[in-house]
Structure 1
Amino acid sequence: MDKIAVVILNWNGVKLLEQFLPSVVQFSEEATIYVADNASTDDSINFVRQNFPTIKIVQNSGNHGFAKGYNDALKHIDAEIYALVNSDIEVTANWLQPIIQNFDAEIQTTIIQPKILDFKNKEYFEYAGAAGGFIDKYGFPFCRGRIFDTIEKDNGQYNDNCELFWASGACFFIRSKTYHELGGFDESFFAHQEEIDLCWRAANEGHIIKYNSGSVVYHVGGATLQQGNPRKTFLNFRNSLLMLVKNLPKKGLFFVIFFRMVLDGIAGIRFLTQGKFSHTFAILKAHFSFYCLSLRYLKKRKDFQIQQYYTVKSIVYLYYISKLAVFKDIFNSKQNIKN
């Protein structure tokens, strides 16, 4: 069994592999590197074989998205720690050592995220994860370093190791034993929110999720599905509701989901006023899909759910009404109410 396996999920991403594989190979001497390919139709596999013969290839039977793509590939990879890395990630020197040391020193820590900065603007945090994630009472995710569309400059304010609620799937470290015991990612999600769902299920089982600033990577972000894509809107809104059904505490379950759906409706109206009709339709489609899947997801609920899963009551209120757009301002505010 390898100590750590770096696993890069790929689908028709030969240009990204050309650009970013060199840094992974250069700075990952401790790891065995894999490309897990979701049945690409471009020249991805030939490129890897010809230019990086030490990289191992796992070929999936189809394009099953992020969730099933990783689930299928990791069945064939024997390692103590999985490093799940997007194909648009540039890693840096010594990015693995702090993570390995963290796992070795803290047995209960089973998931870790590094510091994720913006490849295109390297002084700033990147949208998908930044310095680690949390959610509010209604399931809206936010990060240290990124609240909705406000992204902070990295001034060393998050140069620490701290406990999180969720770690970004852009660069996601997890003990293989934990991954398989939890059943991996929820394959019905296809993509988006699946890492938050997995972290929530891990927290319900008593596992600890951490952020380690000693490891730094740069993420392009949106390289496979752009931020303004209605498909992404659909997946985010639908998967967030499914995640709530699975993981919320029983007390207040239906009220929280109802109120979240009201907030989704307000978001849909906001898209309408901006002329983004396809995004409003995506939210309606997400809710219809949620109705069809909700009974199945109620059956996925476990016997125990942590009661205090959220960090603030409403990040929507704090951001849009109270105009608090920076993480430290939110936690210095009296608005930080958890009940």
Structure 2
Amino acid sequence: MSEPSVAVVILNWNGKQLLADFLPSVIKSRYSNLQLIVGDNASTDGSVDFVRANFPTVQIIENDRNYGFAEGYNRILHRVSADYYVLLNSDVEVPENWIEPVIKAMEADVNIAAAQPKIKWQKDKALFEYAGAAGGFLDINSFPFCRGRIFDVIEADLGQYNNAKEIFWASGAAFFIKRAQWEETGGLDPDLFAHMEEIDLCWRLKNRGYHIIYCPDAEVYHVGGGTLDSNNPYKVFLNFRNNLIIMQKNLPANEAVWRIFIRMSIDFVAWIQFLLKGKTKFAWAINKAHYQFLANIKRTTAKRDTPHLVYSKHTGVYHSSVVWSFFIKGTKYFSQLKDSL
């Protein structure tokens, strides 16, 4: 019996140097039924010509302009045929046998829709990487965090998270999804543009009864911050706005209003902290995020799927506040969280 077909798709926008650095490792991937694709968002740095000249086995699919991460991927994958899609960031180094263990784990259960491998930092492979680590979770107020990373504290990989586990969300840095479920949900939400779009997709999948898993038998190495620096106010804007959007889209109707009110109150505390530290651009980014969320709340509400499963019943939800645990109680590591996950 042949292996399921897999398409590894790297979305690129002016990332010529990243492609030069990391595409060689992707080409060495060992999997018998594999397509390698660079989807380009109308780059102007010669990326497409560079790939054609240096990596002739890689297929190129071009968008007519830069649609961002979410819509960019939607448009590219609409033109790709495979049983599985792997959305891989351009700044990820991979070992040869990183695909098969994840596909094998996903094939074992028809209800598994998406997955991620272990994600470690490319610049120091003893450490987990911020964007995904050993699988993503949400707290009771929908703050995202990871096994191996809570806020800005990154753990060393000592084998403490080597057990396969159902998680809440899989990282977009190396995101495996079955094509059938991608098409069922409509892919990524283009209104998010970038950041948290994979959390939204995983949440929609979980609301439909599917599972998201972490596969420790495969690992990849992510540079991180390759497209938008962490100190960029625009990134702050996207994270604050998009977190509210995905709450409005995916929480049960009887929970959405009061949970969003609590979340916006917590955001206000962050706003004060930015002002006290003299980071007025970041405080303004929160203002802008809240304004855009409220201005478009009807549009967001129209996207809600029904019926919704109760948020607190989902696997991968921490039934307490990770903000309180981290900043007040001093809990810095996932393994120290007392409310069982």
1:39–1:61 CA contact under 8 A, matched in 2: yes
Deviation at 1:271, TM superposition (A): 1.2
1:2–1:32 CA contact under 8 A, matched in 2: no
Out of 1, 6, 24, the residue aligned to residue 4 of structure 1 is: 6
Aligned to 2:15: 13
Q: Report the 3-state secondary structure (helix = DSSP H, G, I; strand = E; otherwise coil) of the residue aligned with 1:174.
A: strand
Deviation at 1:182, TM superposition (A): 0.1
Aligned to 1:177: 180
Distance 2:77 2:207 in 1: 23
Distance 1:224 1:272 in 2: 26
Deviations 1:153-189 (A, max 9, x none): 0001111211000000010000011001101000000
Aligned to 2:321: 314
Q: Report the 3-state secondary structure (helix = DSSP H, G, I; strand = E; otherwise coil) of the residue aligned with 2:90.
A: coil
Aligned to 1:94: 97
1:126 corresponds to 2:133? no
Aligned to 2:234: 231
Q: Which moved more, 1:243-252 or 1:282-291?
A: 243-252
1:329 corresponds to 2:336? yes
Deviations 1:28-87 (A, max 9, x none): 443210000000001100110011111000001111110000000000000000010000
Deviation at 1:337, TM superposition (A): 7.9
Aligned to 2:51: 48
Q: Report the 3-state secondary structure (helix = DSSP H, G, I; strand = E; otherwise coil) of the residue aligned with 1:158.
A: coil
Report the AA paired with residue 69 of structure 1: G
So what's the TM-score if we normalise by structure 1?
Answer: 0.96
Deviations 1:169-227 (A, max 9, x none): 01000001100110100000000010000000000011110000111100000011011
Deviation at 1:18, TM superposition (A): 0.2
Report the AA paired with residue 52 of structure 2: R
Equivalent pairs, count: 334
Q: Which moved more, 1:220-229 or 1:309-318?
A: 309-318
Q: Report the 3-state secondary structure (helix = DSSP H, G, I; strand = E; otherwise coil) of the residue aligned with 2:105.
A: helix
Distance 1:21 1:2 in 2: 22
Deviation at 1:2, TM superposition (A): 6.9
Out of 24, 27, 32, the residue aligned to residue 25 of structure 1 is: 27
Distance 1:7 1:273 in 2: 43
Distance 2:172 2:319 in 1: 22
Deviation at 1:5, TM superposition (A): 0.3
Deviation at 1:327, TM superposition (A): 0.4
Aligned to 1:215: 218
Q: Rate the CA distance shift 1:130–1:237 in 2: closer, same or farther, 3 A.
A: same
State the percentage of identical aligned residues.
49
Distance 1:29 1:159 in 2: 23
Out of 142, 145, 151, the residue aligned to residue 139 of structure 1 is: 142
Aligned to 1:200: 203
Deviation at 1:295, TM superposition (A): 1.0
Residue pairs, 1:268-287, within 5 angstroms: 268-287=271-290
Out of 107, 112, 115, the residue aligned to residue 115 of structure 2 is: 112
Note the aligned Cα RMSD (angstroms). 1.3
Distance 1:249 1:77 in 2: 33
Deviation at 1:97, TM superposition (A): 1.1
Q: Which runs of 4+ in 1 moved over 4 A?
A: none
2:106–2:112 CA contact under 8 A, matched in 1: yes
1:39–1:60 CA contact under 8 A, matched in 2: yes
Report the AA paired with residue 329 of structure 1: Q
Report the AA paired with residue 51 of structure 1: N
